[in-house]
Structure 1
Amino acid sequence: MRTREQLRNVASSDLHDSTEEFGNIDDDDIPSNTAITAHQLIDQHMYGASKMSKQVIEKRLPNICFLHQVYSILRDNTTVDRELAQEIRRGRWRKFHVLGTMDDEYALMETKNYLAVIQEAKEEFIRETAAGINKEGQDLDSAFFDRFDALVQGPERETDVTRQSLSRTLSEKEVSQLCIYGLLIPHIQKDTYHFAIRRQGVYMSNYLKGRLELVRMLKRRPTKDILEKLLKTKRLRNTVFTHDFLLHDLVGSGRAERINAI
């Protein structure tokens, strides 16, 4: 994994002989260590061997990781929180509350990937209304997905959105359709919605089953511990995620502790 400092040095080296052609690279264009780590978790550690191909898995499960997984790699939580806030403010990443998790367990997803998810939902809406599957949405123009897209890219980048904010550009029926297509989830707090990630149920089923498998492996040990190398030889039967991805969950959430053997 390359850190922000390494990337800055690479950029400086590449530009040494070609500053006239490319100009200066803005420091804000270089991803933070937090963003780099989240990328690594998603791109390198998420999927393992499965009966389904990686391509099929990626179509079904969202490309997300959890904030506490990043904490397990970058131990300065305060710095991680600050860098993540900057990434969100710049519109590059978003933070989500996912059902089935604790209130402080946030999922992270690149904004460009979330915008692709919105487009995917729009295309599904168009197909289903044309086929008569979605009768309630047949009198709606699919352009309301574009208005939701603009809202996501606007200044309000929290995990939740109020009904009042939505009503500025969306009707009640359009909000209902966004819920049906997995982009909004009603909050327990009245007149508030969570921004949602489609197919999060399938994701969390794999995630929680994998977590449970690893915890049970540790609990069955007389000493309640195991060499990490040995643990990774044991097959995970109920999840598509890798040992590494799930170990970062256990360590980052405080459910397990990694100890360096002497």
Structure 2
Amino acid sequence: MNKVTNPETSATGAKKRRREKEEEQVGCSHAENEDGGILSEDQCLLSLQDELNFSDTSVALRMMRSQFPRIDQASVPPFILQSQLYSSVNDRTQVDRELECLRRDKVVRVFKLNTGQDDHAIIFLDDYLNQVDRIVKRMEEKKQSDVEVFKWFKGHVLDSKLEPSIGHDELCSLLSLGGKVKDAHITLLINAGLLTRQLIDPDMYWFAVPSIGKLWKGLLQGRNELLSLLKRRRHKEMFLADLEKRRLRFSPLDMRFHIRDLIGSGHLKTFQTTSGLVVRVSRD
């Protein structure tokens, strides 16, 4: 007798196997060689072509976090642009849905970037809280006062306010759960780079990432440099394998970071040929 297979069970099993394979690929960046040493980035890094087709948003996020470029001049936690997720997970609705779940489960936080465009940075919450702790440690070493507000900010504001922005009254109300709030406390959070005032409404704040402003210029310049490079080509295209080996002069963020960003935002598109994946400037 032929065994009857449940289609739903088979599909679920296939998806689980695929996710496990993706997780193994992400873990490669921390893999050890036979001598017990950590493998170099060149030894275990997948080609970018292999990283443009993930089925799970969480796996894609962790992969991009592990490959975030090391930036000496700015102590910024690894961040992923929402556009980059769109380049690696084909279903944008799925990305938005799964990202919202990760946000509500307090795995990640989403920040609006002040680049003049609709850019959102995604940071794992643990990385962000560690950055807040480093700020407090530096202030304590300088013997600055009112550092208790950072504890209130972590324990009462970040823990309960998950959206990218917050109103002045709500901010004061949440901070007051830790102690008596003074104007100086709000100023301290702003000066530390954890809050920025919205230009349209001064009573509203964006949650912010300290030191990330140093990278805005590089992000914008890198986008322009990459697009300019491709537009100078005869057909405004290059093989992805060749493109990702190029170095950018005006951005501290690497080529992979910018390629993912521009594919996900629709400025670049890819198509498969017998010789490999090609990246082309969108003509829309």
Question: What's the TM-score bracket when you normalise by the shorter of the two chains?
Answer: 0.7 to 0.9
Partner of 1:163: 168
Asked if 1 retains the 8 angstrom alpha-carbon contact of 2:222 and 2:258, the reply is yes
Q: Distance in 2 between matches of 1:190 and 1:153?
A: 20
Matched, 1:124 2:129: no
Hey, which of these two has a bigger chunk of strand by percent?
2
Matched, 1:5 2:21: no
**How far is 1:83 from its partner?**
0.7
Q: What aligned pairs does 1:157-196 form with structure 2 within 5 A after superposition?
A: 157-168=162-173, 169=175, 170-188=181-199, 189-196=201-208
Matched, 1:69 2:104: no
After superposition, the CA RMSD in angstroms is 2.3
The secondary structure found in structure 2 opposite 1:221 is: coil
Partner of 1:197: 209
**How far is 1:230 from its partner?**
2.3
Partner of 1:85: 100
Q: Distance in 1 between matches of 2:172 and 2:83?
A: 34
Aligned with residue 43 of structure 1, among 55, 58, 66: 66
Question: CA offsets per residue over residues 146-170 of structure 1, 9 Å max, x none?
Answer: 0000134423200001101111224
Could you list the structure 1 runs, at least 4 aligned residues long, displaced by more than 6 angstroms after superposition. Answer: 7-10
Q: Distance in 1 between matches of 2:19 and 2:262?
A: 32
Change (3 A) 1:81 1:124: same
Identity value in percent: 26
**How far is 1:229 from its partner?**
2.1
Aligned with residue 148 of structure 1, among 136, 141, 153: 153
The secondary structure found in structure 1 opposite 2:136 is: helix
Give the AA of the match of 1:56.
D
Partner of 1:209: 221
Higher RCO, 1 or 2 (CA under 8 Å, sep at least 6)? 1
Change (3 A) 1:119 1:4: farther
User: TM-score, normalised to structure 2's length?
Assistant: 0.71
